[in-house]
Structure 1
């Protein structure tokens, strides 16, 4: 059933969905006949009627008395014609205006008669003398003048034999038979309303109503097509029927009468973001670099390009996993002093060996994800790279202590920076060789080393020139508070960077006895995931810390026990010097403490994710106080809305409902 034919009818005081057939019958004025037909009085007997009865009896005698020998039950013809004899005038009207249905019978008659009885009681009837109820498919349109006679004739169906349908009367009736109504053939709605009072359900429910706050779906009264009515607009109305019209049916004249749509309020923040993104047009150099990186396998040589451009190409092809043993040759040159390969996964041991062969003058080498490097390659580096001063390895799982010791002995006093990450074979023996053979080491970064424990801190304490120390993610409880305090007391006077990320067992003594008393030159402090540090320890560290002039970088991420006093002490001591601050996960911080961030006037990066008290007022004060602010992370801060003020060049990442662009990360 099509949607447009569903509706509510009030013809019989029954409200509910109506079918297409019921709507069609109601439209044509056809009603259901009474179950028990009212017998009509027989006409007075005339000589013509007597002659017809005698002719009928003669026909029955010719049939051999079959009907006389049947049971006392009346025949089908008698049941159909009992009480349904009409006058000759009505009979003629029914013959000319009602179509003939061959073999048609009512459902009630089919239920009373069996199949065998129908075959035995087959009779030949004259079409003019007998009229029966017409079926649904033989209903025809009637005029107002003949409606009364057709209503009487429509309650009887004409059933004739196959031989009688070939006559001229049957031919004329078949020509007048109306075609079956198609689903898409719409009737005149105006006449339909006038006759039956039928109103479409959609028109009954929503006709003449204005959309409230959201878009609505309506149906055009002319083309029956679906269309959307936007919130705040009035659709065009048909002047003839009063129905709603779509834009195509309304035309230019109706569209001009429609109420103009109210423009949605555009957020200036999104407009600023869009303008900022569109303004970031890549330079010609960047476009060339991207093109070269996409066709790196077809490039034979780079020629004369700067080290910065070479590093950009390397980053792009490493991100695309296109750095292989063949493509790495493009970055190897005897003039190179610094080489960084950001993904060495697909470079074999021979390809890594070629680095020392083609770049013998290297001073700084960084190999990330170098799982294929082995002892032979390290020994070759020790022989060829005699000028190496900085060496960084990420993921060297095959190198043993012997190869490390040989390299440290080869580089000697010139070695200044060593970084090792994700190694399970580097032991305290190799670390002792490093501290002994390379006493001028200034940067030492050991991360995710499974064998790291308190024994490692003793040789590190001998490095008197150490300015940067990173000890990340040791095994649980491998580094204790006492050993860390002794290490900081030994090397803290020159430290500018200290990172104790993931040292979960450290307590406040590290802050008070170690950092506060010895780290006068400290500028960068990372105590991320140090859950045992308390509010009193942090507050005591920064309160009246006259030995230190202020930190430029501070990471307090996931220090969940810290409260307002800790953040207030930080902003009062280092508010002027702080460049980057992370207070992610400090859920106990209140709005009063966050308002003190306005003291950080030189702040450029802030991570305040999962600080539930962060709201529009706090960020507004920070934006006004810190003109250099570039990026703010606010993941999980549900009180921060899109109405908070911003400025050009500031990226707010993580706010609910924001348009997030990947370039923000």
Structure 2
């Protein structure tokens, strides 16, 4: 190979010079190495060259004459095993320390092919080295003390029958086992682990180690990174790196610096290396104690097990018999989730005495199946149909004629029902209609909304979600419903629901509203908060402005600041209002901090840690969602646990500063912590 090719792509592994191939580079980058070949048999000393055994070995080598590298390697392995077995059987009392007195040990064990071991198992390498050392030592001792009688004995032993060789091999195996047991007892007396082997002396634990000294990642475990006992993970106030401190050494309000920043400060800007602690210094019991988390064991009741069994075999059930309404609802949820609710299984849930019916997935229920609801349940007062895409005008007309006691109707996905069918239904129900919810309807028009408000003046709950034709004209018609207590507008089309008509509507009916939701109303502005809700909605208890990008921090502050006409909110949803700052949440807590029960501030990443910690003052808080609030960490969670004793559910998705050391308590359900899901991958 020419020397001009010794460039960037040249390798010198195994004393071979030249450019590497793409496959070789790929294997080197990923740390893939070939296994180490067995050592070559030791060269016999000159004194034993005239013995009959040596002459037989030389004649065997001359007759074999292997030409390939594989043949030489196989011959070397066989000769090494034979030499090790014979020498161990003959002199089992010789130890490996005698190898230190042999100055030619390195030269004898070198390979003629000039091979450099790339990936070597320390355990296998040590065993091979010990065998070679014993072989060289014993052969040297035999040659120095050789006599005619010993030569004759050796010559005789070479011609012994195979039975003597088997006995010698058995003795060699027994001697090796005894020596291994003695070394294990010695390690045990020094405090070592019973599971360790010969590789423990050099810290590799018998794993493969390459020429760079790096150990493979087979021993890597997420559990070994867990903090020990009462230690606490904190973040450096300068470089924001996470590090572990001992329990009881952290002062409240003190500035925490990682060892790197602390060493740099103490040494005038010179960084000091951090000494890594060995995981071997920690006992297994301490690791288990650190990883133990409190898990509430929820054993299903016998009733729940029976309900699951019935739901899984719903196709074979002919009738439920006398079963409670709660159990019926559970079965309906399970089979709806499994997409087993169809026109046949629907008949199991129909009872002439039934007054409330909820079907959670009507995708596979045909129009005739939906029609049978009014036939078999004429006394229905509340009907909820989800994913009812197959309901049509004939079914709605049949309901208007036969469901004479219907007061509440909820439809999700009636995409083929026309405005005329809705109008006939509203005229037939009339003043007894108290609740109407419509989701994902594409044909509910202005005429249907006008007939609804004129024919059903006693409506108390009204909800429109994802209705394509919803616009400001609906707001003018809804203004006639003076008995409304709950009003929801969700995800209207852009530029369809604007500020001025909404302000006019709330000024008309806002005095009776208890629940108000503007989810996804992008065109509403602060005037709705300050000119309509603040002066008119004095009885408001639940407010949702989920995704209302038109509302600002100043508008929320002006709404809640010194709002003495309102007694306080119990449920507030400000999810995805990403521009809200600390002033918005502070004004809410000052007004409704003592009455809040459910709060959703998901996605408000502009909030500071100090403001988030004030949520601990909400004594009645039961559900809290602080997902994607970057200021939430272990300290904030600990503050919540100490302040809010009624907190039952805490959602923390996207908060990567919450570590595995985050405290918890019995009865609290924490959802979304990263370390919980990472830990499942390593268990």
TM interval, shorter chain, is 0.5 to 0.7
Q: Residue in 2 aligned with 1:599?
A: 617
Tell me, in whole angstroms, the C-alpha distance in 1 between the residues paired with 2:367 and 2:573. 38
Asked if structure 2 preserves the Cα contact closer than 8 Å seen for 1:270 and 1:659, the reply is: no
Determine if the alignment matches structure 1 residue 498 to structure 2 residue 458.
no
Cα distance change on mapping 1:138 and 1:491 into 2, 3 Å:
closer
Q: Residue in 1 aligned with 2:41?
A: 25
* Alignment match of 1:196 (pick from 105, 109, 125): 105
Tell me, in whole angstroms, the C-alpha distance in 2 between the residues paired with 1:186 and 1:396. 85
Q: Residue in 2 aligned with 1:641?
A: 659
* Alignment match of 2:608 (pick from 563, 582, 590): 590
Deviations 1:371-402 (A, max 9, x none): 00011111111111011000000000110011
Unaligned runs of 5+ in 2: 1-12, 15-32, 89-94, 111-116, 128-175, 181-186, 207-279
Asked if structure 1 preserves the Cα contact closer than 8 Å seen for 2:600 and 2:624, the reply is: yes
Question: Secondary structure in 1 aligned to 2:436?
Answer: strand
Cα distance change on mapping 1:106 and 1:527 into 2, 3 Å:
closer
Tell me, in whole angstroms, the C-alpha distance in 1 between the residues paired with 2:123 and 2:473. 85
Question: Secondary structure in 2 aligned to 1:431?
Answer: helix
Larger radius of gyration: 1
Question: Secondary structure in 2 aligned to 1:652?
Answer: strand
Asked if structure 2 preserves the Cα contact closer than 8 Å seen for 1:237 and 1:245, the reply is: no
Deviations 1:529-586 (A, max 9, x none): 0112111110110111111100110000111111111111111110111110011111
Determine if the alignment matches structure 1 residue 656 to structure 2 residue 674.
yes
Tell me, in whole angstroms, the C-alpha distance in 2 between the residues paired with 1:495 and 1:137. 90
Determine if the alignment matches structure 1 residue 610 to structure 2 residue 519.
no
What's the offset of the Cα at 1:653?
A: 1.3
Tell me, in whole angstroms, the C-alpha distance in 2 between the residues paired with 1:420 and 1:467. 17
Determine if the alignment matches structure 1 residue 298 to structure 2 residue 316.
yes
Q: Residue in 2 aligned with 1:271?
A: 293
Q: Residue in 2 aligned with 1:552?
A: 570
Asked if structure 1 preserves the Cα contact closer than 8 Å seen for 2:517 and 2:544, the reply is: yes
Q: What pairs with 1:349-498 in structure 2 (closer than 5 Å)?
A: 349-498=367-516
Tell me, in whole angstroms, the C-alpha distance in 1 between the residues paired with 2:366 and 2:558. 52
What's the offset of the Cα at 1:615?
A: 1.9
* Alignment match of 2:299 (pick from 272, 281, 288): 281
Tell me, in whole angstroms, the C-alpha distance in 1 between the residues paired with 2:381 and 2:571. 28
Cα distance change on mapping 1:444 and 1:196 into 2, 3 Å:
same
What is the RMSD computed on CA atoms of the aligned residues?
4.1
Cα distance change on mapping 1:269 and 1:382 into 2, 3 Å:
farther
Determine if the alignment matches structure 1 residue 314 to structure 2 residue 332.
yes
What's the offset of the Cα at 1:93?
A: 10
Q: Residue in 2 aligned with 1:164?
A: none
* Alignment match of 2:59 (pick from 83, 86, 99): 99
TM-score (norm 1): 0.67
What's the offset of the Cα at 1:645?
A: 2.5
What's the offset of the Cα at 1:271?
A: 2.7
Tell me, in whole angstroms, the C-alpha distance in 2 between the residues paired with 1:492 and 1:454. 17
Cα distance change on mapping 1:99 and 1:269 into 2, 3 Å:
closer
Cα distance change on mapping 1:660 and 1:429 into 2, 3 Å:
farther
Aligned residues: 493
What's the offset of the Cα at 1:646?
A: 1.8
After TM superposition, the structure 1 stretch with the greater mean CA deviation from structure 2, 636-645 or 459-468, is 636-645
Tell me, in whole angstroms, the C-alpha distance in 2 between the residues paired with 1:365 and 1:245. 69
Tell me, in whole angstroms, the C-alpha distance in 1 between the residues paired with 2:124 and 2:72. 31
What's the offset of the Cα at 1:95?
A: 7.1
Tell me, in whole angstroms, the C-alpha distance in 2 between the residues paired with 1:531 and 1:138. 76
Unaligned runs of 5+ in 1: 1-6, 9-15, 32-88, 108-134, 141-178, 209-220, 248-257
Asked if structure 2 preserves the Cα contact closer than 8 Å seen for 1:236 and 1:244, the reply is: no
Deviations 1:93-125 (A, max 9, x none): 997674267887798xxxxxxxxxxxxxxxxxx
Tell me, in whole angstroms, the C-alpha distance in 1 between the residues paired with 2:355 and 2:286. 58
Deviations 1:638-657 (A, max 9, x none): 22223232211101111221
Tell me, in whole angstroms, the C-alpha distance in 2 between the residues paired with 1:588 and 1:493. 33
**Whose helix fraction is larger, Structure 1's or Structure 2's?**
2
Asked if structure 2 preserves the Cα contact closer than 8 Å seen for 1:528 and 1:558, the reply is: yes
TM-score (norm 2): 0.65
Q: Residue in 2 aligned with 1:627?
A: 645
Determine if the alignment matches structure 1 residue 333 to structure 2 residue 333.
no
Tell me, in whole angstroms, the C-alpha distance in 1 between the residues paired with 2:472 and 2:506. 13
Q: Residue in 1 aligned with 2:584?
A: 566
Q: What pairs with 1:196-275 in structure 2 (closer than 5 Å)?
A: 196-197=105-106, 198=109, 202-203=121-122, 234=193, 261-266=283-288, 270-273=292-295
Asked if structure 2 preserves the Cα contact closer than 8 Å seen for 1:584 and 1:611, the reply is: yes
Q: Residue in 2 aligned with 1:252?
A: none
Tell me, in whole angstroms, the C-alpha distance in 2 between the residues paired with 1:103 and 1:353. 97
